[in-house]
Amino acid sequence: MLDLALSTLTSPPVLFFALGLFAALLRSDLALPEAVSKGLSLYLVLAIGFKGGVEMAAGASWAAAGVVLAGIALSAVLPLISFTALRATTRMGQVDAAAVAAHYGSISIVTFIAARDALSGLNVDASGHMVAVAAAMEAPAILTGLILAGRVASQSALQPAALSAATTSTPRSNRALAQECLTNGSIMLLLGSFVIGWVTGERGMASVEPFVSDIFRGLLCLFLLDMGLTAGRGLIGSWRQLRSSLLVHGLIMPAVGASIALPIGLGLGLSAGDLALLMTLCASASYIAVPAALRMALPQAQLTIPLTLSLGVTFPFNLLLGIPIYIAIARAVTG
């Protein structure tokens, strides 16, 4: 396990993330233009989706449906654990605790990509359908978070004078929320490129391999450098809001999520690579899709707290320590 951890920690993508984090904490002016950062993000999602689709085409299986359903269930349940822990250990209100919990039920696609890259570097195979699992786990946590926030209850508790206005605006807001979840750019690109890879298969891969494969790791390094800068600057700007109980939550929830995913993945008969990815997904926290949805659905929530926790605490933990631990455990229990 120590050799595996050292191999992962000394890989170029992780070291570039550490460089960005270090530069931000030293208040360096190192920065990537926003357009470049967004372009790198789109590229990585496209590449991982396309390669997952090609792998799925080479070995489609009904077992994939079971893993997707398990991922959906996990995404819906994990916020309940996070919410209960936050209410018991912090003074956060119901809405803010529900917002944080939703982030920890959803997933970080960048953490997933980093785990896939680590598995590839270790020559550990993972199934293409895990890309579909990642996409399916984005939205259920948002619904659970809204339920925990008492969104429906709060609307029914409005004063009679305001109730008629609420009944006319609620369907519209619900439709807008559903559209936000279903048309989120990263999810659409991930699923779309997955389908394209699945349809075109090895023939499609042969035509675009230099683009989606040969340069993938170099661009991942550049993107993680930017992620390190973003995480470090987020910590500098919001560290006063992170009390010790919240910091502990950001470090404990990855272990909780991975621990719950472990027996479920074993029960589904997942391979070492697929099990490591499922553990990684359950251990990660969203900082893209969930904030975008909650900004509209729960405008009263303080989203700087969950954003700083997920990006400034949980993401670095998973990248530097979590992923090698999940891979080591998955390899050990699957033989």
Q: Taking a C-beta distance cutoff of 8 angstroms, is the pair 134, 281 a contact? A: yes
Strand, helix or coil for residue 112: helix
Q: How far apart are CA 200 and CA 4, in angstroms?
A: 35
Angle at which helix 94-105 crosses helix 244-267, to 10 degrees, equals: 40
> 150: burial class by Cβ within 10 Å (0-12, 13-18, 19+)?
middle
Q: What is the pLDDT of residue 60?
A: 61
Q: Taking a C-beta distance cutoff of 8 angstroms, is the pair 108, 287 a contact? A: yes
Q: Which residues contact 202 (CB under 8 A, 6 or more apart)?
A: 54, 57, 58
Q: How far apart are CA 106 and CA 96, in angstroms?
A: 16
Q: How far apart are CA 321 and CA 181, in angstroms?
A: 30
Q: What is the pLDDT of residue 159?
A: 39
Q: How far apart are CA 225 and CA 32, in angstroms?
A: 9
Phi, psi of 242 (to 5 degrees): -95, 90
E strand spans, 198-259: none
Per DSSP, the residues of 72-122 read: HHHHHHHHHHHHHHHHHHS---HHHHHHHHHHHHS--HHHHHHHHHHHHHT
Identify the CA nearest to 190 among candidates 307, 309, 281, 62.
Answer: 281
HSE-CB for 269 with a 13 A CA cutoff = 5
Q: How far apart are CA 39 and CA 105, in angstroms?
A: 26
Q: How far apart are CA 152 and CA 159, in angstroms?
A: 14
Q: What is the pLDDT of residue 170?
A: 47
Q: What is the pLDDT of residue 74?
A: 97
Task: For the chain, 335 residues long, give each residue's pLDDT as a single digit of tens.
Answer: 666 667 777 789 989 999 999 999 999 999 999 899 889 988 998 998 898 888 888 766 667 889 999 999 999 999 999 999 999 999 899 999 999 999 999 999 999 999 999 998 889 999 888 998 998 898 889 889 988 987 544 443 433 433 333 334 444 456 665 666 666 677 788 889 989 998 999 999 999 999 998 899 999 999 999 989 988 888 888 777 778 899 999 999 999 999 999 999 999 999 999 999 999 999 999 987 788 788 777 888 888 889 889 988 999 999 989 999 999 999 999 97
Q: What is the pLDDT of residue 181?
A: 61
Q: What is the pLDDT of residue 332?
A: 93
| The amino acid at 60 | A
Widest CA span in the chain: 66
Q: What is the pLDDT of residue 152?
A: 41
Q: How far apart are CA 273 and CA 112, in angstroms?
A: 12
Strand, helix or coil for residue 150: coil
Phi, psi of 210 (to 5 degrees): -60, -30
Q: What is the pLDDT of residue 174?
A: 60
pTM: 0.83
Q: Cα dihedral sign for 240, 14, 310, 265?
A: negative
Q: What is the pLDDT of residue 172?
A: 46
Q: What is the pLDDT of residue 1?
A: 60
